[in-house]
Amino acid sequence: MKLIVGLGNPGPQYEKTRHNAGFMAVDQLQKRWATGVTPKGRFSGVCVETSIKSERVLLLKPATYMNLSGRSVAEALGFYKLNPMSDLLIIVDDVALPTGSIRVRSAGGPGGHNGLTDVQRALGTDQYPRLRIGVDACPPMMKLEDYVLGRFTPEQAALLEPAIDKAADAAELFATAGVTAAMNKFNSKPESNPPPSAQSSEN
């Protein structure tokens, strides 16, 4: 059994906001693997139990609001007696990554993300995999809270759609092959063009 948790805020006023990128990825997984299954209210959230290929998976969206996400995660982990280091994947938005990119990590600090901060508090460890979905940095002179609770610009939305698909792909690989396999496949950087050689100045 694997637990895949998308972090976000419940309610229509928060739909499609940057802070709900984790919810969007879990919704995409549900479309792929649990079509027609009615979500249930459990573990202080909304969840669907399904299978991704041969692996049983619980898809969970906490209903506690972002800053209290840890309670929902801890309840589900405890019920199924899962190991957070190998059985849990948290999907979150990240202002340190450009929109359109994703990053998988096996562990690490919260990086200023309130949802991850509360998950770490509830679990007593930062040793759990997480999948970060880029939403671009907060513009200067704008409060971070206002930015992440705002909706994507049309330009960002065009980049976000394939990123959500890629995040769902990465979560599927995590569920079936583990976090190392997901990191190896989805963290690889495309080859960049070499920098142009310096031009010698003419005297």
- Mean pLDDT taken over the chain: 93
Q: Model-level pTM?
A: 0.92
What pLDDT was estimated at residue 189? 65
Residues of the chain above pLDDT 90, percent? 92
The per-residue pLDDT for range 113-123, each reduced to its tens digit, is: 999 999 999 99
The per-residue pLDDT for range 38-93, each reduced to its tens digit, is: 999 999 999 999 999 999 999 999 999 999 999 999 999 999 999 999 999 999 99
Is the pLDDT at 108 greater than 90, yes or no? yes
Whether 97 and 138 have beta carbons less than 8 Å apart is answered as: no
Whether 120 and 49 have beta carbons less than 8 Å apart is answered as: no
What pLDDT was estimated at residue 188? 73
- Please report, for the chain, how many H helices and E strands are present, in that order: 7, 7
**3-class secondary structure, 177:** helix
Active site includes 19? Answer: yes
The structural domains of the chain, ordered by start, are 2-186 (3.40.50.1470)
Give the active site residue among 2, 19, 105, 166.
19
Distance CA 104, CA 100 (A): 14
Distance CA 6, CA 185 (A): 21
